Structure 1
Amino acid sequence: MRGDGFTLLDLFAGCGGMTRGFLDQGSFTSVGAVEIDRAAAATYAANFDPTGEHTHAGDIAGYTDVPRVDVVIGGPPCQGFSALGKRDPADVRNQLWREFVRVVRDSDARMFVFENVDRFAKTPEFQLLRQAASEDGELADFDTRVFRLNAADFGTPQKRIRTFVVGSRIGPVDEPRQTHAKASIGDLERWIDLRTSFLEGSVLLEPGVRETWLPESTVEFQGRAVPGTFKLRDLHITRNYDMKSETRYAHIRPGRGRFDLPEELQYPCWRRHTRGAGDVLGRLEWDEPAVTIRTEFFRPEKGRFLHPQWANGGEQVNRALTHAEAAVVQGFDDRHLWCGSKAEIARQIGNAVPPPLARSVADVVAARLAV
């Protein structure tokens, strides 16, 4: 521990959602990060490592100068585990947890936090990770606890379920304390909805956005120029939709999807599939959290990503979420800076760990470290 907090190393750091949550908790200092995507690494550095000296922008396999830290956190890429992917057991991304284990050992960390998609707990890799923490395993001296957490239960305006594996060499950790619920009960507040997040929160995002491109700006990161840095407001950008697309979107009611379309507006492939995929071309609801934000949230055909404003609530908004709205749904505020192209930043947003959820995990980690 440094004088200014417990030391933290973030692996597969992305844009820094997990680090943001841990730093917001108040007990941690970031001393390093590893991220192979250069734009995401630049975003991380812009927020937590202005000199770029502690951000390894490359393959984790080449990360050998590992610092001694109190905690290692990270979430290896989830595409190999995700229900949306091919779930190929041979997917190289499914093996990256082994590099996570290596760095935990090399860092002499007292604790680690491993995050992944909900279904990770049902994969062979999860069982191998648990074996690593069992007798004679690489992490045999760690007590591990597995938590299945919904981001909406911890103050994020999004229903996003994730698996966290928390390991500790200094005693078991408690389960993170839930702060919100579907309905207010006892000391639990009601889930944060989109109306509160977009129109009543600290960052006001008016629905009538017209800009379609990021501002022209570049920043140097480790000797190369990348687009950025952008503030949250700069990300409040939309796309140019054709008239037929807007006509389709206009038919979709809040909480509904493609089944609201008349037959003449159905895509030909949808006419043959009258079941399943109800969220496709779906519209969000003002008084509910969003569904899970993914990397292509800007394409309504990919899920329930249409703006919640419908005719009954005023001027109808027939577009997908902007990058800024998606970032707010993930729990980011206007402190966070962004680097990269529109597509790169969208990927960073969709892959991020919601900071409010990470902060709740950081609470129990800090409590154990402080004992």
Structure 2
Amino acid sequence: MENDLQWQLLAQKALSGDCLTVEEGLAVLESDNDQILLLMQAAFQVRKHFYGKKVKLNMIINAKSGLCPEDCGYCSQSIVSTAPVEKYSLLDKETILAGAREAMARKAGTYCIVSSGKGPTEKELDQVMEAVKEIRATMPLKICACLGILKGDQAGRLAAAGVHRYNHNLNTSKENYPSITTTHTYDQRVETVEKVKTHGMSPCSGVIIGMGETNREIVKMAYALRELDADSIPINFLNAIPGTPLEQSGRTPAIQALKVLALFRFICPSKEIRVAGGREVNLRTLQPLSLYAANSLFVGDYLTTEGQDVSADHQIIEDLGFEIELNAL
């Protein structure tokens, strides 16, 4: 009963707009596994207050694969990776449009156009904008772009073309960042998200759990995204791909992954918390429980790894008594 009251008090604190302390955040991450159902029930109270039982679906298209000069240790598309991934330049407009139609077939409300590389060239930006304009004119989809670090007037041009949301993840804590990537900085990522906000696009920024960060750093990551005021927060769990520098990192235990999702729901209570890449291999059979804290997920494949069958995700949502929120940003 004492622990149940502890989690209920955290839920009440979140609902009142107060932020958890570092020690309260650590208590969530370091709680006894026997408490997981009580913890998830408390997180669900917060999730239900803001989102009811609705689940937002998102679909990714890997619009440009590999060929990336960055040295991100988690990424199979990085120049330092030897993983056998497909490599191709930016897809043509018709292929991107076909992906949008597939997103609708999967009941995804948001279509995410993702491109490898440090940032888009002017030609690539023009190609993406042309596709976005046609999607906006012909389909009731929300568009999220993830093209890397933006420069000059690129954010403004994407917004004018009709991009609703821009994703640029912080990925890890500021302290841990140099051990993951050296070809760009944590601050550059923050600057891109701030630039996105300035031009009226909805900011999407999240993390990858399982890259050597401490529990205290995970709490700081949640604080950073709360301060950044990201509307959507994808929580990825490292899928350690052979051929990448982090290939030996292992996986996050399923119950620990649930604790992370509960933590982010408490610290960023009103935001879209998306259980994202790596959920299948980290959460495994506990995937349904993730939606008691998260209110959003990706359907289908990721950038270079496979997701589970879309029908399985639809079945999870139905079996929980939840419902898909269509055309939701």
TM over 0.5: no
Larger radius of gyration: 1
- Please report the TM-score for the alignment, with normalisation by the length of structure 1: 0.27
- Please report the TM-score for the alignment, with normalisation by the length of structure 2: 0.30
